[in-house]
Structure 1
Amino acid sequence: ISYPGSSHPLTFLLMGFPGLDSAPYWFAILVCTTYLLSALGNGTVLIVVLTEPSLHSPMYLFLCMLAVSDLGLSTALLPTMVSTFLFDSRDVSAEACFSQIFFIHTFSIMESSVLLAMAFDRFVAICKPLRYDSILTNTKVAWIGLSIVVRAVGLHVPFPFLLRRLPFCRTNVLSHSYCLHPDVMKLTCSGYSRDGIYGLFVIFSTMGLDPVLIVLSYIWIFKSILGITSLEERLKALNICVCHIFVVLLFYTPMLVLSLINHLAIHTTPLVHIFLSYLHFLAPPVLNPLLYCVKMKKVRRRIVTKLHRARRVGLGP
């Protein structure tokens, strides 16, 4: 199916779970529940941190940035997933697909960048504790946040325009219930042309570079922790990093496993690829707020306090 006078497909066909298309409503309920939990958790974190002046410090401001990235990512995924699983409507126009590619990849790179910024925050807090307040001021944190947005948006603005001018002469069936750049590029007549090379550059300069820098920062962090003589202080320093390490592993592990499967040509069913992709995109927005609220006592206490106040207001005099 093509645009008049061109070889662009008018629509792409989305896919659900292979062999499980007979029960789309179960997946629709799961998708909607996942989104509501993500919106509730990340929205609560944003409201609590932004309304409590005592939480206006770098660590909690980076947590706000992570919540915004998670909300944006889950919102970008929602429309086509609901359309596929709830209404069994698998057709998506090229314009809508290219727009979704922009938002999914932009918020995904934003999340990766925020995780890197949080690793830097942990590095300064443990390796340079006496200079923490002078190195990471709120103004510098704001500039870091702005650079994260500019980086993510700037790298992905060209994608919709580049994809719009490519010829598509193969099947228009995608591999997921949402649009991804590599998935769409496989359908082009030219395969991985210069536009594909640009996509690879974006991936390697962001999702490839960020985890490497995070690992390097933790090498320095663990070296500093090993230099601490007091066992209690060592455990306290490690406790600062535990939550961030879990969040990093949750975000990057599915992507790394999927990359290894593809590059090592390991034979797996399509269901494994789809499951890992869903895990990479859907799990962090839901679990990140829970992990941080469990570990961060200040955030947890503020949430409990606000719930008690709301309950009292609801009960009335």
Structure 2
Amino acid sequence: MAAFNLTPFDPSTFILMGIPGLEAAHVWISIPFSMFYIIGLLGNFMVLFVVGKEQTLHKPMYLLLCMLALTDISMSTSVIPKALCIFWFNLKGITVGGCFTQMFFLHTVIVVQSAVLVTMSFDRYVAICNPLRYATILTNTRIAKLGLLSLIRAVLLILPMPLLLSRLPFCANHIIPHMYCEHIAVAKMSCGDTTVTRMYGLVTAFVVIVLDLMFIALSYGLIIRDLLKISSKEVHQKALNTCTSHICVMLMSYTPCLFSYLTQRFGQGIAPDVQIILASLYFLVPPMLNPIIYGVKTKELCDKVGKYTCRR
């Protein structure tokens, strides 16, 4: 039996367990999951629809909101439908190719979203510190090019992850104690040496999270520096209102992302079900709240949304 368990083989499917230890509560857990997911889809599709229909919203700021909405939709859709299939129908199987595809798509979208948040912080810097040059520095074409560069960066950084994992041997254990194909969760199943893929994941996380946060901090540092030169409280209040929505979205995005990353690698003392539930908030809460935050804080967008939702 021991010899069988250590024999490498190429399984046709992996088994996603959902939330181990809470199998009996899967149906109940699915209720808030599906509600948050539907609300998030409706809110983000509404942003895309309104910005697409209204010519007056075809501006860099709203193009960035559309990019954020697309990443929110893609990120939650890459995880939640499969998770609901596990919760409702006990469909736990996923092909090896499907697992690696989900991993690649999910992590690529996360990296793209991080780049969008960096670009939004630069947008806020230009809007506050160089308002007269805003239209020349940030054009729609330039935003589109930055979006394309963000996608290329994400693909180049993430593509080696599934490629490295696909070269590893997987033994008799092909059960993933998770509800989606998270990189480290899949790597732990291998009976081969996972040092390279683990180190690559660590370096990628550093490049994306740490460097992107440094650029965001730099943008806000420059904003604060310029505001300190101005004594007007009215200007300070206006700048704060301009940045509030982005700061809220940034905190909601990076906080659960960092928690999920750290607990997967260093959270041995945290129960697996707690890790998975808290990690899943990253795919549920920001996509649901982001359109609400920007809808409330951005008057022009709020007015246009009201134009369509309040129509008789």
Letter in 2 for 1:109: V
Letter in structure 2 aligned against 1:157: L
2:83 alignment partner, SS class: helix
- Show the counterpart of 1:34: 36
Check 1:154–1:263 CA distance in 2 against 1; reply closer, same or farther (3 A cut): closer
The corresponding residue for 1:314 is none
After the TM superposition, which residues 1-317 of structure 1 pair with which residues of structure 2 at under 5 Å, given as runs? 7-169=9-171, 171-259=173-261, 267-309=269-311, 311=312
Distance of 2:172 and 2:214 partners within structure 1: 36
Deviations 1:52-83 (A, max 9, x none): 11111111110000000001111111332022
Structure 1 CA distance for aligned equivalents of residues 41 and 196 of structure 2: 38
TM-score by length of 1: 0.89
Counterparts of 2:89 and 2:40 in 1: how far apart (Å)?
22
Q: More displaced, 114-123 or 33-42?
A: 33-42
CA distance, structure 2, for counterparts of residue 298 and residue 146 of structure 1: 26
C-alpha separation in 1, matches of 2:99 and 2:261: 23
**Which deviations, in whole Å up to 9, do the C-alpha atoms of 1:158-213 show, x marking residues without a partner?**
33333222111263222321111121112222343333333333222212321222
Question: Residues 13 and 92 of structure 1 are in contact (CA less than 8 Å); yes or no, is this contact kept in structure 2?
Answer: yes
The one of the two structures with greater contact order (alpha-carbon pairs below 8 A, sep at least 6) is 2
Q: Is the 8 A contact 1:185 1:191 kept in 2?
A: no
Taking structure 1 as reference, are residues 264 and 182 closer, same or farther at Cα in structure 2, changes over 3 Å only?
A: closer
AA at the equivalent of 1:66:
L
Uncovered stretches (5+) of structure 1, i.e. residues with no partner: 312-317
Cα distance change on mapping 1:264 and 1:202 into 2, 3 Å: closer
Instruction: Encode CA deviations 1:25-74: one digit per residue, 9 max, x unaligned.
Output: 22233332222111100000001111111111111110000000001111
CA change 1:103–1:306 in 2 (3 A) is same
In terms of mean alpha carbon deviation, does 233-242 or 75-84 score higher? 75-84
The letter of the residue matching 2:70 is V
Q: Which amino acid aligns with 1:239?
A: N
Residues 264 and 163 of structure 1: CA distance in aligned 2, closer, same or farther (over 3 Å): closer
Q: What is the rounded CA distance, in whole Å, between the counterparts of 1:199 and 1:53 in structure 2?
A: 42
Structure 1 window deviating more from structure 2 (56-65 vs 208-217): it is 208-217
C-alpha distance 265-183 of structure 1, shift in aligned 2 (>3 A)? closer
Contact in 2 for aligned 1:34/1:286 (Cα 8 Å):
yes
The alignment's C-alpha RMSD in Å is: 2.2
Between the aligned residues of both structures, percent identity stands at 44
Is the Cα–Cα contact under 8 Å of residues 225 and 238 in structure 1 kept in the other structure?
no
CA change 1:249–1:162 in 2 (3 A) is same
Counterpart code for 1:167: P
- Quick check: 1:170–1:189 contact (8 Å CA) kept in 2? no
Deviation at 1:266, TM superposition (A): 7.2
Distance 1:276 1:90 in 2: 20
Alpha-carbon spacing, 1:187–1:224, altered in 2? closer, same or farther (3 Å): same
Check the 8 A contact 2:8/2:172 in 1, yes or no: no
Partners of 2:67 and 2:181 lie apart in 1 by: 24
Q: Distance in 2 between matches of 1:177 and 1:247?
A: 25
Question: Does the aligned pair in 1 maintain the 2:256–2:279 contact within 8 Å?
Answer: yes
Maintained 8 Å contact 2:22/2:273: no
User: How far apart, CA to CA, are the structure 2 residues paired with 1:51 and 1:31?
Assistant: 30
